[in-house]
A and B are shown apart, each in its own frame.
Chain A
Amino acid sequence: MRLPALARTTHKWLALIIAVQAVFWTLSGLYMTAVHIDIIHGDHLVRTVEPRALSMAGLVEPATFAQSGAKSVRLETQLGKPVYVVDAIPGHMLFDARSGALLSPLDEDAARDRALFHYAGSGGIVKTELLEVVPGEIKGRPAPIWRVEFEGFWRPTLYISPQTGGLVAKRHDLWRIFDFVWMFHIMDYEERTDVNNILLRVATWMAVATSLTGAWLLLYSFRRRRRARKAAA
């Protein structure tokens, strides 16, 4: 087989196997580059809160958490009130810093209040539910967790921890689309996390071979015209 024919044959056979995935790679790549990552992360969904100075007078002393097996203690403001977020050996706990009352696990109203406090959009809450199993869009986070969905075209959703009262994650459809195209980009159709899976490794090296044979083929693809022009001159 002559070289141009060999280049063409290998390129087209490799492409036959990899072309559909190449289209997935480029279209998913285009989406991920075109929509800014800050928008994907949903930074615009939450308000930036200027922290105010804490008043220490009359607060429960952090030393009291020694008996609950605290590994670390954080004093912060939630909904305008001082609270302690305690990371203890049995798990996270939330206390009212003035009365020392245990606030966790937070009930639905407390979760909604916190979600409304953080949310920067104008729509109201559509649905609030306590999830016992974390959904794929927040995998790795501790359960149970409050899921608060807001009105809006992109289904903005905030996740509030019932144990710490903190905002754990923010999601909307642009994030969900990103996660979906990421799945095609890394070819991990189950967990969407393994960037070293064997399918991806094989496919990427085939793509290398396809692009290199394509480059090789370019050497022959432009020559004939130049010759034709020379002949015409």
Chain B
Amino acid sequence: MFLIRTLHKWFGLILGLQFVLWTISGAMMALLDHHKVSAEHSVREPAALIVPADTLPLARVAEAVGGPILALRLKPLGDGFVYEAATPSGVKLVDATSGRPVAVDAARAGALAAAAFSGSEAVASVRKVDAADVETRKLPLPLWRVEFADAERTTLLLSAATGDVLERRNNSWRLWDVFWMIHIMDYTKRESFNHPLIITVAAGIAWLALSGLILLVQSFRRRDFAWVLDPVERLRGGPKARVRES
């Protein structure tokens, strides 16, 4: 027991700060409402559009794309339909009735985001993202970052290739993400929780918790529970119980 107490103390001294950080970041993440953090209600369900009967035939699509097509999608984009062709050199968008190429430029990205946004606030800024940052990590680049003028600074991230809304961010997420960074100990990219540092510290902290649990056994004496045990024993008929105790 003395050894375990010493180990508990020293593990606490060396790793204790991370344990404090884990409990605080964990408590904060449990406190921040996940529905708000994930901006669940920031994007509205799009109106169901039906594929137009005068959709361009495949031969014309192949011509417009002008190269091998690996997969093809006919999907709504804004008010109309487009063909989204996956090609070896990337995604190409073609208007589904005229056959003209469609580019997702700043104006179109802003309009698509405004149509998708469930709030009434205006677009505050539209910016192209070519290099991954904390907000756009793990998403395919390039993309358009469209920020709205609401209190939460809701931001929609749209693929510059397909025009799809790939991700939503807001101030709740930005705050949550700081605690997430602290929790997973990935202070630069905030994405991996499988690195040697966290595995090592987690093993040490697991021991800290386990040794603490073991120490509990010897940390409590009967007198710690006298406030509940004494009345119980008195109820059971006093003297006998007192004999057993000694």
Chain A stretch 140-167: residues in CB contact (< 8 A) with chain B? none
Q: Are B206 and A33 within 8 A (Cβ)? A: no
Q: Are A196 and B34 within 8 A (Cβ)? A: yes
Q: A15-B216, A22-B212, A22-B213 are in contact. Are A52 and B70 (CB under 8 A)?
A: yes
Q: A22-B212, A71-B49 are in contact. Are A61 and B12 (CB under 8 A)?
A: no
Query: 0/1 per residue, B14-54, Cβ < 8 Å to A?
Result: 00110110111011011111100000000000001111111
Chain A stretch 51-66: residues in CB contact (< 8 A) with chain B? 51-54, 56, 59, 61-63, 65-66
Chain B stretch 190-234: residues in CB contact (< 8 A) with chain A? 193-195, 198-199, 202-203, 205-206, 208-210, 212-213, 216, 219-220
Q: Are B199 and A33 within 8 A (Cβ)? A: yes
Q: Are B212 and A15 within 8 A (Cβ)? A: yes
CA distance A222 to B33 in the complex (A): 40
Number of residues on chain B facing chain A (CB within 8 A): 58
CA distance A193 to B212 in the complex (A): 29
B116 at the interface (CB under 8 A from A): no
Residues of chain A lying within 8 A (CB to CB) of residue B195: 33
Residues of chain A lying within 8 A (CB to CB) of residue B86: 51
Chain A stretch 1-39: residues in CB contact (< 8 A) with chain B? 12, 15-16, 19-20, 22-23, 25-27, 29-30, 32-37
What are 13 pairs between A and B in contact, CB < 8 Å? A15-B219, A30-B206, A34-B202, A36-B194, A37-B193, A53-B70, A63-B54, A74-B72, A196-B31, A207-B26, A214-B212, A215-B12, A222-B13
Given contacts A22-B212, A53-B69, A67-B53, 8 further A-B contacts (CB under 8 A): A23-B206, A25-B209, A62-B55, A63-B53, A73-B73, A76-B72, A89-B50, A195-B30
A contact residues vs B (CB 8 Å cutoff): 12, 15-16, 19-20, 22-23, 25-27, 29-30, 32-37, 51-54, 56, 59, 61-63, 65-67, 69-77, 89, 186, 194-197, 200-201, 204-205, 207-208, 210-212, 214-215, 218, 221-222
B contact residues vs A (CB 8 Å cutoff): 9, 12-13, 16-17, 19-20, 22-24, 26-27, 29-34, 48-55, 57-59, 61-62, 68-76, 86, 193-195, 198-199, 202-203, 205-206, 208-210, 212-213, 216, 219-220
